[in-house]
Amino acid sequence: MVNQQWVLAERPESYPQPSHFRMVRGDIPKLQSGKALVKTLYLGVAPVMLRYMRNDTAFEAPLEIGDLMMGRGVAQVLESDCPELPEGSVVQARIGWQEYALIDNAQRPTPFLLEHHDLPYSHGLSSLGPTGFTALIGLREIGALKYDDKILVSGAAGGVGSQVAQIAKALGASRVVGIAGGAEKCRLLVEQLGYDAAIDYKGSDLAEALQHHFPEGIDLFYDNVGGPVLDEVLARIRRRARIVICGSISEYLLPAEAQHRFKNLQQLGRQDARMEAFFVFDYGDQYSAYASELASWIRAGLLQPKEDISRGIESLPGALTDLYTGANIGARMVHVADPVSG
C-alpha cells in the first residue's frame, strides 16, 4: 500500500492550476510516540491556499517547492499513541494533501474530534467545521446580528456564503440578500440556500441592484470578496452598520499595487459604522459548542449544508482551481476514501 501525496511543483503567477502540483507516492507512515496515524476521508480546499503556494501568509510555515501541500481534512484514526485522538475516532485536522498522515494534538490549529456521528463526515468540512464556524462567528460575534437587520452577503454561493443566510435566519434574521456570479448561482441562493433575493454581480449593475434591494441602506454586510464590491456597499451603509470582513478573494490574485483603492471608507465615520475582520482559528475553544449548535439546526431542517464533492485524491488540484474560476457551489471538497469499518 502506498500513500499518494500532492506536493507543490511550481508557484502560481495567477490562480492555482493542476500544473502547479505533482503527485508522489510514498510509504504509509509508521506510528510514532505521542502521535496518531490517520486515514484521510475528505480533504477541503480554501481560497487561502493560493497564499500558502506563494508563501504569502504570516500564520503558516513556509511552503517550499517539493513540500507536501498544506490543507485540512476529515480523517479516521487507525492507530494512536495520543490520548486526545483515540483509535476509531474521526478527526478534523491539518492532514496535508495525502491519503495517510501522522498527526498530534500539539499541531496548531489543534485537531478536533467530530462528535455528531448521526451526520455525514463531510460536514466536518462544511457546516460542522471551520467553514460553518466562520459563518456563525462572523454573523454573531463580529456582526452582532439583530433580528430586523437588513443583511447583505457577498460570495453568497461559496462554502461560507452558502450557509450565511440559513444561519442568519436560525439566529432570527428576517431578510438576507446574497451576491453571487451568474444566474444559476442566484437561482440556487433563493431556491435552496435561504436567501430572500439575489444579485448577479457579473450580469447586473451592482449599484442599481443595491439601491433596489436596500432603499434605506444596509445594516450588516458579510463580506467574502472585498475590493470594488465592498467599496460599492460602503456607499450604502446605514447608521451603526456592521461590516464583517470575512475574506477578500477578489484581491488574492492581485499584486499590492493593483489592489482596489477605496473611495468610500469615510462612510464608516459618517454612519458611526464598524468594520471588523476575524480569524476562525482564534475561536478554537468554542468549536465543540459551535458544532453542537449547528448540528441541532441541521437536524431541525434549518440548515442544509451545501457541499460540492468530487471523488478521488487526483481531483484535488482541480478543486482548488474551481474556487478561482467560480465553478464551485457550496463547500468544495474531495472524497478520498471511505472509513475502515469494524
Query: Could you list the residues that contact ligand NAP (CB under 6 A)?
Result: 46-48, 130-131, 134, 155, 157-161, 180-182, 185, 224-225, 246-250, 278-280, 323-324, 326, 328
Of residues 104 and 200, the one with the C-beta less far from ligand NAP: 200
CB neighbours of residue 65 within 10 Å: 12
Q: Find the radius of gyration of the CA atoms of the chain.
A: 20
Of residues 218 and 244, the one with the C-beta less far from ligand NAP: 244
Type of residue at 93: A
DSSP state of 312: S
Type of residue at 150: K
For residues 82 and 88, give the distance between their C-alpha atoms in angstroms, rounded to a whole number. 12
Cα-Cα end-to-end distance for the chain: 20
CB neighbours of residue 268 within 10 Å: 15
Compute the least distance from the CB of residue 87 to ligand NAP, in Å. Answer: 30
Compute the least distance from the CB of residue 144 to ligand NAP, in Å. Answer: 16
Query: For the CA atoms of 177, 140, 291, 321, what is the dihedral angle to 10 degrees?
Result: 50
Dihedral sign, CA of 99, 101, 103, 109? Answer: negative
Compute the least distance from the CB of residue 138 to ligand NAP, in Å. Answer: 7
What residues contact 204, with CB distance under 8 A and at least 6 apart? Answer: none
Of residues 4 and 127, the one with the C-beta less far from ligand NAP: 127
Of residues 78 and 235, the one with the C-beta less far from ligand NAP: 235
Compute the least distance from the CB of residue 283 to ligand NAP, in Å. Answer: 9
Compute the least distance from the CB of residue 195 to ligand NAP, in Å. Answer: 12
Of residues 46 and 210, the one with the C-beta less far from ligand NAP: 46
Compute the least distance from the CB of residue 303 to ligand NAP, in Å. Answer: 15
CB neighbours of residue 232 within 10 Å: 19
For residues 164 and 129, give the distance between their C-alpha atoms in angstroms, rounded to a whole number. 14
Phi, then psi, of 22 in degrees rounded to 5: -135, 135
Compute the least distance from the CB of residue 79 to ligand NAP, in Å. Answer: 31
Of residues 314 and 322, the one with the C-beta less far from ligand NAP: 322
For residues 341 and 84, give the distance between their C-alpha atoms in angstroms, rounded to a whole number. 21
Of residues 81 and 196, the one with the C-beta less far from ligand NAP: 196
C-alpha cell at position 315: 481531483
